[in-house]
Amino acid sequence: MPEVVLHRDGANTGILRHGSEAIVINPATPGLWEALRQSGVRSVEHVLFTHHRRELADGWPELMAACRPQVHVPAAEESLFAHPASYWNDPKCRWQALCSHMPYHVTHTHPLEPDFTHTDGVLLEWHDWRIRVLATPGYTDGSITYLAEHDNRTVAFCGDLIYGPGRIRDLYCLQHHGKRNGHEVGDYHGFMGAMETVIDSLLTIREQVPEHIVPAHGVVMDRPADAIDLLVSRLRLAYHNYVSISALRWYFPRYFDGFSRDAETLPMQETFPQPTNVRRVCGNVWTLIARSGRALITDPYAKDAVDAVQTLLDKGEITGVDGIWITHYHSDHVQAAAYARDKFACPIITDRHLADIIERPSAYFLTCLVDAPATVDRVTEDGETWKWEDFTLSAYHFPGQTYYHAGLLAVADAGERYFFSGDSFTPTGIDDYCSWNRNFLGRDRGFDYCIRLMRSLRPDIIFNQHVEVGFRFTEQAYELMLANLAQRERLFADLLPWDHANFGTDEYWVHTYPYEQQARPGQIIPLQVRIMNHALDARAATVGLRTPQNWSVTPHTLTVTCAARIETGMRFEVAIPANAPPQRHVIPVTVIFDGENLGSFREAIIEIERI
């Protein structure tokens, strides 16, 4: 279509022309106004947003300064554009977030006041253009598509609903609550929960028979029906793979009723009652009890549960507490950790990958995180072994449900082998129902690594802190799960446009450290940007910080080579002006990775203290 121009620098900005005037759709990159001006545009009269995402407005300030265009946004997302501070200052969007913040954690740092808000069916007429609004939720709850028609030819600007033929940009933004068969799961348990909504929206666009589809990120599609049909097929194949070994079949057995069970479906595994030397006290607090009556406890999640351990002491059912083992950082496993440590005057023990999160939760932004720091007295290394009473204990990094996860093998002198797996497994499979937990695909990564480790350790009974019985996997079950994960890696590779599927399932492959920190006026503070390069070879990355005016950053930008499959850190120093007022600042982080401009992809928070 000759009157449609596409400006691409990582994201796609649509430009509808009428002589020297223009409408801009998703002004995504700095330098956009200069590019428009050089192409002959003298005025941008309207700016249209398909959905709410910070980097889609990276070029907005320049347009606002030059032209003051009218702004159009989805009605359902108006407050996220107009009042971002309400989001950033809401503790529910920071702490114990059960994914209810998704996918809006890429919210703007400054208000963007809309002139018009749009719902399904609205018609915009501008010169010879007719622009119809379609409600197309899925990638975000309020996403809309603009069908731009000129000379009986139509192009659909659909946001991030589709990336390219058969592809979607990521899966973590599809995490969403859902209801099936009379049972509802929340956002946290809703892996790919927005899939059917995405499919319905794609089919809505397909019915309009546009000549082209232009996504916010990705490639222009000139065979929209084929592109959509392929994506629908791939989404459903991937979801079937996920369901086949999902732990949710244990927790919510009715939810997946209606999904066919076939040779890829893991049969329910054998379960066992708790043995006499392992006892579930309350919720996630379990005890491993030695012959002497001494005990180790796990995951002190609430004061009431810790007090229940004290009741066992008072009754003489155990004679003392020698340590606290923490399996992972989630709030329902650590909220009373400091209380338990003080109450029993015993050490907290955990793997080095999560020790820092337990001690400095404010340095991270992760789902289910709680602002309840506790001292870790003993930091274990993978495979570290020690003797305790009549048990030999071995600690492991156990990156299953989350990368920040630990496993504990307890082998009794009498020969019993118990494995405390945290939340990683149930008798129906793996606890991978939340992509925001950072569970990785790949040989010897994530669950693949955990399955191979458990198979080599040969536990008699596996314990999940949420499951009231023990269980054990057969050799056939281990093989089936490994085959499923290998297939999943291939299916997700087809579905996602990245060099490895983990880029599209792990939103925190780029994150800041510390995520949140306090500073005083006049202070110079360190800030790292960390990149987990999931690709199988090295990649270059260029990173910068967008600090408030009059702040300074050293270096201004930093380019590094990120080695394969490990995390690389980049250090910046941020100088706070001496006259900086007390305020909470959200600092966007810009990223160019492997030549692809990701825009203001991540952020850090700096809270200026009152002097």
- 242 in a structural domain: no
- pLDDT in the model for residue 202: 98
Prediction pTM value: 0.96
- pLDDT in the model for residue 261: 84
Closest of 159, 155, 163, 116 to residue 136, by C-alpha? 159
In the predicted model, what is the mean pLDDT of the chain? 96
Question: pLDDT digit string (tens) for 464-498?
Answer: 999 999 999 999 999 999 999 999 999 999 999 99
Alpha helices by DSSP H, 30-180: 32-38, 60-67, 78-82, 84-88
Clarify whether residues 182 and 315 are in a common domain.
no
155: domain CATH number? Answer: 3.60.15.10
Clarify whether residues 482 and 567 are in a common domain.
no
In terms of residue numbers, what domain contains 520?
Answer: 506-608
- 261 in a structural domain: no
Clarify whether residues 603 and 546 are in a common domain.
yes
Clarify whether residues 446 and 524 are in a common domain.
no
Last residue of a domain, one of 495, 524, 549: 495
- 600 in a structural domain: yes
Exposed/middle/buried for residue 478 (C-beta within 10 Å: 0-12, 13-18, 19+): middle
Question: pLDDT digit string (tens) for 282-334?
Answer: 999 999 999 999 999 999 999 999 999 999 999 999 999 999 999 999 999 99
Clarify whether residues 69 and 191 are in a common domain.
yes
Residue carrying the six token digits 């990521």: 170
590: domain CATH number? Answer: 2.60.40.10
Cis peptide before 103 (omega within 30 of 0): yes
- 228 in a structural domain: no
- 264 in a structural domain: no
- pLDDT in the model for residue 593: 98
pLDDT band at 444 (very low <50, low <70, confident <90, very high): very high
Clarify whether residues 142 and 37 are in a common domain.
yes
pLDDT of 155 above 80: yes
Clarify whether residues 97 and 175 are in a common domain.
yes
Average pLDDT of the residues in 116-137: 97
Clarify whether residues 526 and 490 are in a common domain.
no
Clarify whether residues 557 and 456 are in a common domain.
no
pLDDT of 1 above 60: no
pLDDT of 258 above 90: no
Residue carrying the six token digits 């009373």: 336
594: left (phi over 0), alpha (psi -120 to 50) or beta: left
Clarify whether residues 561 and 441 are in a common domain.
no
CA dihedral 470, 473, 474, 480 (to 10 degrees): 160
Clarify whether residues 424 and 480 are in a common domain.
yes
- The structure tokens listed for 22 are 């223009």
- 132 in a structural domain: yes
Last residue of a domain, one of 446, 472, 495: 495
Domain count, the chain: 3
Cis peptide before 30 (omega within 30 of 0): no
Contact 609, 518 (CB under 8 A): yes
Clarify whether residues 437 and 532 are in a common domain.
no
Last residue of a domain, one of 462, 495, 528: 495
- 233 in a structural domain: no
- 388 in a structural domain: yes
DSSP string, 395-460: EEE--SSSSSBEEEEEEETTS-EEEE-TTSEETTEE----GGG----STTSHHHHHHHHHHHH--S
